[in-house]
Structure 1
Amino acid sequence: MKILMFDTEYFWYDTFSKTLDHVEDTEKEEKIADNAVVFIHVEVEDEERKNKVVKSAVKSLKWYLNKVNKEKIVLHSFAHLSSSTSSPEFAAEVISEIKEKLENKGIEVHTTPFGYFSEFSIHVRGESLAKVFKEI
């Protein structure tokens, strides 16, 4: 798994086009202010170590939220951080489990619609920790 984390003033997105036939139809536009945004790429290798990957991702995301002093996070599936890509079904499952575990820890979690390309705008802060890449 690869995760790219941003400390943002805001993240705005609008669903643009559906990429997976089996996901439900949705049109969604949302702007979330003062949060962390995480681009998540689930790799084929993660399918053999799901529990470890989810646990490590949650730990890394909690660490990041503490470092940037945020209480909200947006999880965005972004299958462009590696040439190794898991099945869409597995990626959706992993992101859902990460969301659930973070919510159980009292964190406000937003997710962009899975299986869609989205138009987005992001205002990333300038500090060094505002942009962090992690391999899990």
Structure 2
Amino acid sequence: MKLLMFDTTYFCYKTFSKTVETVEAFDREESITDSLVIFVNVENEDEVQKDKVVRKAVNNIRWLAKKADRNKVVLHSFGHLSESKSSIEFAEDILNTIKEKLTAKGLETSMTPFGYLLEFKIHVKGESLAKVWKSI
């Protein structure tokens, strides 16, 4: 799994086109302020170590949320962080699992629409910890 984590003052997205046939068709536009935006690439090798990968992802995100003093997290499936990609079903499942665990830990967690290309605007803070990349 690869995580590209941003501490943002502003993140806005709009669905552009559906890329996964099995997901529900809809249009959505949303703006979120003062949150961590986490771009997640779920890799093929994650499928044999789901629990370990989920635990490490949750711990890394919680660490940054504490350092950045953020309570809101947005997860975004982003398959461009690695050449390795898991199955679509597994990626959606693991993102939902991470979301549930972060929520259970007290973080207000949402997810961009899975299976869609998005238009987005993002304002990332300038501090060093506002841009963190992790390979799990």
CA separation in 2, counterparts of 1:95 and 1:35?
Answer: 17
Where does 1:27-106 land on structure 2 (aligned, <5 Å)? 27-106=27-106
| TM-score normalized by the length of structure 2 | 0.99
- Post-superposition Cα deviations, 1:2-61, rounded to whole Å, max 9, x if no partner, equal 000000001000000000100011211000000000000000000000000001100000
Tell me the SS of whatever aligns to 2:35.
strand
Tell me the SS of whatever aligns to 1:37.
strand
CA separation in 2, counterparts of 1:48 and 1:128?
Answer: 33
Tell me the SS of whatever aligns to 2:134.
strand
Give the unaligned 5+ runs of structure 1: none
Give the unaligned 5+ runs of structure 2: none
| TM-score normalized by the length of structure 1 | 0.99
CA RMSD after TM alignment: 0.4
Where does 1:120-131 land on structure 2 (aligned, <5 Å)? 120-131=120-131
Where does 1:14-33 land on structure 2 (aligned, <5 Å)? 14-33=14-33
Q: Does 1:7 align with 2:7?
A: yes
1:106 Cα offset (Å): 1.1
Aligned residues: 136
Q: Which runs of 4+ in 1 moved over 6 A?
A: none
- Post-superposition Cα deviations, 1:63-116, rounded to whole Å, max 9, x if no partner, equal 010011100000000000000000111000000000000101111011000000
1:128 Cα offset (Å): 0.4
